[in-house]
Amino acid sequence: MRVLDGIYEKVEYLNNSSILLHINKEDDDYSPHWHTAVEIIMPIKNIYTVVIGKTTYRLQERDILVIPPGELHEVIAPTEGLRRILLFDYSLINSLKGMTNIFTVLNQPRLIAKSNSPDINKDLAKLYDEIVDEYNSSYTLKEAAIYSLIIRMFVVLGRKYLNTENIFPDVKLNKQKGYIEKFNIIFDYINENFMEEISLDTIADVAGFSKFHFSRLFKQFTDMSFYTYLNQRRVKEAEKLLLNPYLSITEVAMRSGFSSISTFNRVFKSFKECTPTEFKKLYQRHNRIKSSIHMLNTIT
């Protein structure tokens, strides 16, 4: 059952889990929405169409689409069909060594189709099949087993998109490994210091590059500018802090690395299409409704 508040969708995990697998055969379209979970879609019968921004993804059977958290998207279903929709909380695995870099490269939707990536699609589809088997089983440690399979999926994706020959095609092979190591340092530095002021000069010095060279390489590595990436990281932190009812909007802004409320509001809305205050109210309203339902269920 979908729980929508405006364009924000609250993922209703079952039994205190952080994983939800939905075998969907409905012909209903899903209006534009976003959520904090990673979503992985795979049609089993018939096509499935997902619109993200200005891009329309027309998924064929066994194609796989990975949608990052916070991505506004809508879904158009055929009159008949069947598809898997896996949602999970990525924060539980994001702290693993190397996963930060994988999610950096996968900061945009990725379609792994049978037609253009048959080998990788086959590997991912097999892991997806195993996830379904585990999810429907009564095994102990089921959730841990599913997360291990999800990690393996992202390792497959990471090795594809972190291939230095694809990211830095004009760089000599002996330099490519060094670039990857430097970007590991860069992302660690950003994760540890995003709440502080980080200038392009500072981060270029950390990398050991000129500003121009750093900006070009960073764009190649992430498909976005350094400041866009930095703001995205700050907004993700703000999302978590806004869940705390005891923190004011000003405190959230400062702890997330924004120097002013006006900048925080503008940047947050550019990513989430709602203000921080509206975002906070969405969670608070949902929690009040959920508490009321729980009390009614307890009484009856």
The confidence band for 162, taking pLDDT boundaries of 50, 70 and 90, is low
Within this chain, do residues 196 and 282 fall inside the same structural domain, yes or no? no
Within this chain, do residues 188 and 258 fall inside the same structural domain, yes or no? no
As to burial, measured by CB atoms within 10 angstroms (0-12 exposed, 13-18 middle, 19+ buried), residue 95 is exposed
Q: What is the maximum alpha-carbon separation in the chain?
A: 70
Within this chain, do residues 250 and 143 fall inside the same structural domain, yes or no? no
Dihedral angle over CA of 48, 52, 56, 59, nearest 10 = -30
pLDDT of amino acid 299:
47
The confidence band for 286, taking pLDDT boundaries of 50, 70 and 90, is very low
Q: Comparing C-alpha atoms, which of 104, 108, 220, 223 is closest to residue 164?
A: 220
The tens digit of pLDDT for each residue in 27-39 reads: 999 888 888 899 9
Within this chain, do residues 146 and 176 fall inside the same structural domain, yes or no? no
As to burial, measured by CB atoms within 10 angstroms (0-12 exposed, 13-18 middle, 19+ buried), residue 65 is buried
Q: Dihedral of CA 59/62/65/69: which sign?
A: positive
Which of 51-55, 259-263, 274-278 is predicted with the least confidence, judged by mean pLDDT?
Answer: 51-55
Within this chain, do residues 67 and 149 fall inside the same structural domain, yes or no? yes
Stretch 105-111: mean pLDDT: 79
Identify the domain boundary among 116, 145, 162: 162
Identify the domain boundary among 194, 223, 252: 223
Token pair 């990536």: residue: 117
Within this chain, do residues 118 and 241 fall inside the same structural domain, yes or no? no
Within this chain, do residues 60 and 21 fall inside the same structural domain, yes or no? yes
Within this chain, do residues 178 and 125 fall inside the same structural domain, yes or no? no
Q: Comparing C-alpha atoms, which of 111, 126, 92 is closest to residue 19?
A: 92
Rounded to whole angstroms, the Cα distance separating 35 from 73 reads: 10
Strand partners, 51: 56, 74
**Helix or strand holding residue 51 (H, E):** strand 48-52
- Higher pLDDT, residue 166 or 275: 275
Q: In CATH, what number is assigned to the domain containing residue 122?
A: 2.60.120.280
Stretch 266-285: mean pLDDT: 81
Rounded to whole angstroms, the Cα distance separating 108 from 94 reads: 16
Dihedral angle over CA of 143, 146, 152, 153, nearest 10 = -130
Q: What is the mean pLDDT of the chain?
A: 85
Instruction: Give one DSSP letter per residue of 219-284, joined into a string.
Output: HHHHSS-HHHHHHHHHHHHHHHHTT-TTS-HHHHHHHHT-S-HHHHHHHHHHHHSS-HHHHHHHHH
SS (H, E, C) 161-228: HCCHHHHCCCCCHHHHHHHHHHHHHHHHHHHHHCCCCCCHHHHHHHHCCCHHHHHHHHHHHHCCCHHH
Residue 254 tokens, joined: 């400062």
Residue 261 tokens, joined: 């409320």
Domain that holds residue 196: 169-223
Within this chain, do residues 10 and 89 fall inside the same structural domain, yes or no? yes
Within this chain, do residues 156 and 174 fall inside the same structural domain, yes or no? no
The confidence band for 288, taking pLDDT boundaries of 50, 70 and 90, is very low
The confidence band for 183, taking pLDDT boundaries of 50, 70 and 90, is confident
Identify the domain boundary among 177, 202, 223: 223
pLDDT of amino acid 297:
39
- Higher pLDDT, residue 145 or 94: 145
Domain count, the chain: 3
Within this chain, do residues 216 and 263 fall inside the same structural domain, yes or no? no
Q: Comparing C-alpha atoms, which of 121, 150, 156, 187 is closest to residue 39?
A: 150
Q: In CATH, what number is assigned to the domain containing residue 252?
A: 1.10.10.60
Stretch 221-241: mean pLDDT: 88
The tens digit of pLDDT for each residue in 186-206 reads: 988 998 899 999 999 999 999
Within this chain, do residues 111 and 137 fall inside the same structural domain, yes or no? yes
Cβ–Cβ under 8 Å, residues 48 and 80 = no
Token pair 């700050």: residue: 234
